[in-house]
Chains A and B, each alone.
Chain A
Amino acid sequence: QKEVEQNSGPLSVPEGAIASLNCTYSDRGSQSFFWYRQYSGKSPELIMSIYSNGDKEDGRFTAQLNKASQYVSLLIRDSQPSDSATYLCAATNAGGTSYGKLTFGQGTILTVHP
């Protein structure tokens, strides 16, 4: 069973701090990785995609990928109360019979307190 696991949380950080969200995956064939943000009662919103080892920055968000360690992380700098949400990590093995199916982690609840 191919799995994606996230740090269990919930995670609570003060406003202005760095929030660090972590994810590991079991399928070594996974090639593409995604972070979604889901506010309570809403659908997931894609916030970051990463495909190669290293860091990828977009505004206050930085995604990090280490394929050798099968590890993906998301850093949120200068955390704001509006960042309070559930963050979902997802991975896909784009080739073979997976047809681009995403495997999702269970999610990490982040609370940013003023």
Chain B
Amino acid sequence: DGGITQSPKYLFRKEGQNVTLSCEQNLNHDAMYWYRQDPGQGLRLIYYSQIVNDFQKGDIAEGYSVSREKKESFPLTVTSAQKNPTAFYLCASRDSFTYEQYFGPGTRLTVT
């Protein structure tokens, strides 16, 4: 069953702690993306990766870091430097031929 998984579904952290969100895909897609969605707002691009061992900053990369050591995996770390980390985080991967992006179920992060 092909798809994208994200874990955990809900995450609670205290201010000042780094936290890593998991994203795994078995669609054999090269490109993967991380977005953030705030209530009532659209999706904003945090980081993206076109291929293993390569990634680029998106529109709101400050306070976030990523790695891409395997094709299937693209974890996102929310660092203590991120001023407003509470949000819904969405991972996606892209079909190279159609440019269609498919999303995982998301991780809802709450930092207090």
Q: Name A residues whose Cβ lies closer than 8 Å to a Cβ of B.
A: 32, 34, 36, 42-46, 49, 88, 90, 92, 94, 99-102, 104-107
Contacts and interface: CB of A to CB of B under 8 A. Distances in A.
Contact of A49 (B42, B50, B100): B100
A32 B99 CA distance: 7
Given A88-B42, A100-B31, A107-B42, A94 B105 contact: no
Interface residues of B, number: 21
15 contacts: A32-B98, A32-B99, A34-B100, A42-B105, A43-B103, A44-B43, A46-B100, A46-B101, A88-B42, A88-B43, A90-B101, A100-B50, A100-B94, A100-B101, A104-B42
A43 B106 contact: yes
Nearest to A45: B103
B103 A44 contact: yes
Given A46-B100, A104-B43, 20 more contacts: A34-B101, A42-B105, A43-B90, A43-B103, A43-B104, A43-B105, A43-B106, A45-B103, A46-B101, A46-B102, A49-B98, A88-B42, A88-B43, A94-B99, A99-B56, A100-B99, A101-B48, A101-B58, A104-B42, A106-B42
